Amino acid sequence: METAYQADGTLVWCARDMGNLLERIKAKQINVVVVGAGYVGLPLAVEVAKSGLTTTAFDKSQGKVDAINRGESYIGDVPSSHLAPLVKEGRLKGSSDADVLKDADAIIICVPTPLNKTKDPDNSFILDAADMIASRMKPQQLIVLESTTFPGFTRELLLPKLSANGLEAGKDFYLGFSPERVDPGNAKFQTKNTPKVIGADSAEGLEMAVALYSHFIDTLVPVSNTDTAEMVKLLENTFRAVNIGLVNEVAIMCQHLGLNSWEVIEAAATKPFGFMPFFPGPGLGGHCIPIDPLYLSWKLKTLKYQARFIELADNINSGMPAMVVTRIADALNDRSKAVRGSKILVAGVTYKRDIDDVRESPAIDIIELLRRRGAIVSYLDPHVPSLTAQSTHGILSQDVPKAEVEDAGKFDCVLITTDHRAVDYVKLVQNAQLVVDTRNATKASRKEHGNKIVSL
């Protein structure tokens, strides 16, 4: 391939005899670059490589790149035993050199999309990736965004950036959006067997995206355009956030009524129709549910519409860590103890069970709230070797010492925030003086030790 650009970066000509892109995709005669090798990108890159496509996992973190090239996984859902053979056989490599994009026929963007401090969308990672790609684009490329964003982003912001060098979307390159559906720690549904929604900017782009993803995803769900695909993702997680907000408020109601919220929900779940059980907890965590609905709310504000369900659910869910701390204070007070000076063990600091991810974990906020009230806090979590200010991106003011189940009796209160299967909760309750349980992990111990268990 030979290309030439003007001084301002405008593409003026390209000589390339590589055949039709769609036919090459179908024949697996393409190079694929996955931009971002995190919780979404690395599992995806592994599946792409397993399908027989030449694959590069691009990431700015040299540590991640080096680990990939050693065949060592840093993602729980990707065993090193799956990664290493792909690297050894030359089907997958890691790179921190953006020039790998020049030889890519298909580029899949899997970068973070957090919220900023005012809870507005932060799309800077996508836009940075777009600039990096745009400066290296060539005709006949397929680009698919997987990072969650608001409806219209791919069409309104990403497409113009990629067209800046004079290439025409739908003719010279093809653009799609396929929202990631990663559920860390899910043993049943992983990247390959989770149905995949795909939208594109043109009929030709959709055909190419479907052809690409059909190599490594079992079930594809094409939709009419990128806006629809973006909205699908936000609906999925808004549904969960709103229903979790509902049951969190039910838990608060049950406290006022003197009822056990877990018993109420479990009994309601016996109805064989018209009810889907959700369960309360200490707050929302992870990279999707606490964030994605607010992308939709923000977008609607630009159209002068208030997404009332989303904002109410966010208000309730965001308030759960403070409510848990109040619950601890009340439980200690009933035993003639103050939060200040009390030793508290936080059991489980990841945002969900059986993973090592502390992103947006409510346990982190609870630890800081307890410290502000003068508590002396330690943590217990078999999946997190250490909990530091650095590992929580500065949310923690200082490192947290680690303890074990056998140490539970040394604490004035044990707070269960994540119900890891590897933790012996029967033993934990036996050893503890007081347990505040936000996950119904102590159900088996309530009959014998109910006098020292306080439920959410």
Q: Give the domain ranges of the chain.
A: 2-233, 261-455
pLDDT band at 391 (very low <50, low <70, confident <90, very high): confident
pTM for this prediction: 0.90
pLDDT > 90 in the chain, percent:
87
pLDDT of 18 reads 40
d(CA 210, CA 102): 23
**Catalytic entry in 14, 110, 254, 288:** 288
Contacts of 25 (CB under 8 A, 6+ apart): 105, 106, 142, 208, 211, 212
Q: How far apart are CA 96 and CA 98, in angstroms?
A: 6
Average pLDDT, integer, range 406-429: 97
Q: What is the pLDDT of residue 3?
A: 47
Predicted confidence band at 282 (pLDDT cuts at 50, 70, 90)? very high
- pLDDT score recorded for residue 318: 95
Burial call 31-69: b when 16+ CB within 10 Å, e when fewer: bbbbbbbbbbbbbbbbbbbbbebbbbbbbbeeebbebbe
Structural fold of domain 2-233: Rossmann fold (3.40.50)
For residue 110, indicate whether it is catalytic.
no
Across all residues in the chain, what is the average pLDDT? 93
pLDDT confidence band for 432 (50 / 70 / 90)? very high
Would you say residue 19 has pLDDT above 60?
Answer: no
**Tens of pLDDT, residues 105-120:** 999 999 999 988 788 8
Quote the pLDDT of residue 344. Answer: 98
Confidence of residue 1 (pLDDT cuts 50, 70, 90): very low
Residue type, 269: A
∠ CA 59-60-64, nearest 5°, is 60
Beta carbons within 10 angstroms of residue 433's beta carbon: 15
With cut-offs at 50, 70 and 90, classify the pLDDT of residue 179. Answer: very high
Q: Return the pLDDT at 423.
A: 97
CA dist list (Å): 104 to 31, 41, 110, 149, 177: 5, 16, 15, 24, 18
Is 261-455 CATH 3.60.15.10? no
| pLDDT at 78 exceeding the cut of 70 | yes
Asked whether this chain's domains 2-233 and 261-455 adopt the same fold, the reply is: yes
pLDDT tens, 145-170?
Answer: 999 999 999 999 999 999 988 899 99
**pLDDT tens, position by position, 323-341:** 999 999 999 999 999 999 9
CB contact burial 346-374 (16+ within 10 A = b; e otherwise) = bbbbbbbbbbbbbbbbbbbbbbbbbbebe
